[in-house]
Structure formats: structure tokens, C-alpha cells
Amino acid sequence: MVANGGRLADRQICVKLFVRHGDEDRAIAFYREALGAELLQRHEWPSGILTSADLRIGESVFRIAGANPRRDAEPKLGGPRSPHALGTTAVILELHVRDVDRVIGRAIGAGASLRNAAETLSTGDRVGAFIDPFGHIWALFNAMEDADVVDLSIEARNAA
């Protein structure tokens, strides 16, 4: 849950997705276009330089932040590092949506690459995955019996 002003509520985990320094605005635009994310708050230095931003998809809040270029370049300094610096990612972001095919199509159109084409499992569930332009893997699911999924359709965003 989110408290007033986009601030995280007590006892809530905030996932922070690191991107290459300077890609923060591009990442915000991608997640808004491809996944219908709502921008809750931008965090900037007094000079106006963007440091991070909080976004929400459904009830989930996550933060976009630019990785420190020195940490990206020098592994011995320790993380966090962007997936581009690592050459991989250590997590998969799982998102339950109403229409896997439509969301994957929108993500590809916004610059993502296909990881796993959408397919229907023996359970009737629809699944697929893409890699966003910043190296993060998104696995999409539409559980046929799960009515509690996020509707990322343009129509739903415009109706809100």
C-alpha cells in the first residue's frame, strides 16, 4: 500500500531497479508506456538532477535509480550495479496481467526484447517474458482462475 504523497507505508518492501546512470528518465517513460506504470514521485538533488523515481503498477510500488557509474565500472566496489554492467540480472520481476499477449506486444513496441513468447500452459494459464531495455526480465502471467490481476490496457488507464 502507498501512503500520502507516494511515500511507502510501514513494513513494505520497495524494490529498486537500477539502470545505467543517465537512463532514469528513459526507464520511467518505458515503464509508463509499456506497463502503464503511474509515476508517484521524482527524487531530485537541489540542483534538479534526478536520482530516483517511485512508480506504481496496481498495488505494487517500485523505484527506478541510476547506478553509480564507478560501481558499474569497478565490480570490486560492490553493488548495486545495473544489469548492463553485470551482463545479466539476478531477479525476475513477475507481473500478473489480464492480457499477456497485449502487454508483451506493447513492451516490444516500446523497446523491450522478447525472452519467451507467450504460451498457454496445460492449466490454461498464459505466460510469457520480455527483457526491458535496461536489462530487467519481466515474466507475465494470466492465471485463468485469478480474477485479481492488473489490467494494463489503455482503456483501463483512460477510464481511471
Q: Mean pLDDT lowest for which of 18-27, 91-100, 139-148?
A: 139-148
Average pLDDT estimate for 4-17? 70
For the stretch 58-81, pLDDT in tens is: 989 999 999 999 999 999 998 899
Torsion of CA 58, 60, 65, 71, to 10 degrees: -140
- Residue 61 CA to residue 12 CA, distance in Å, equals 9
Tell me the per-residue pLDDT of 36-60, one tens digit each, with 9 for 90 and over.
999 999 999 999 899 999 999 998 9
Q: Which fold has domain 4-159?
A: 2,3-Dihydroxybiphenyl 1,2-Dioxygenase; domain 1 (3.10.180)
Residue 12 three-state SS: coil
pLDDT score, position 151: 56
CA dihedral (88, 93, 94, 96) positive or negative:
negative
pLDDT band for position 1 (cuts 50, 70, 90)? very low
Euclidean distance between CA atoms 84 and 76, whole angstroms: 16
**pTM summary value:** 0.81
CA 51 – CA 46 distance, rounded (Å): 11
> Is the Cβ–Cβ distance between 137 and 95 less than 8 Å?
no
Confidence grade of residue 5 (pLDDT, cut at 50, 70, 90): low
Residue found under cell 547506478: 67
Could you read off the pLDDT of 79-119 as tens digits, one per residue? Answer: 899 999 999 998 999 999 999 999 999 999 999 999 999 99
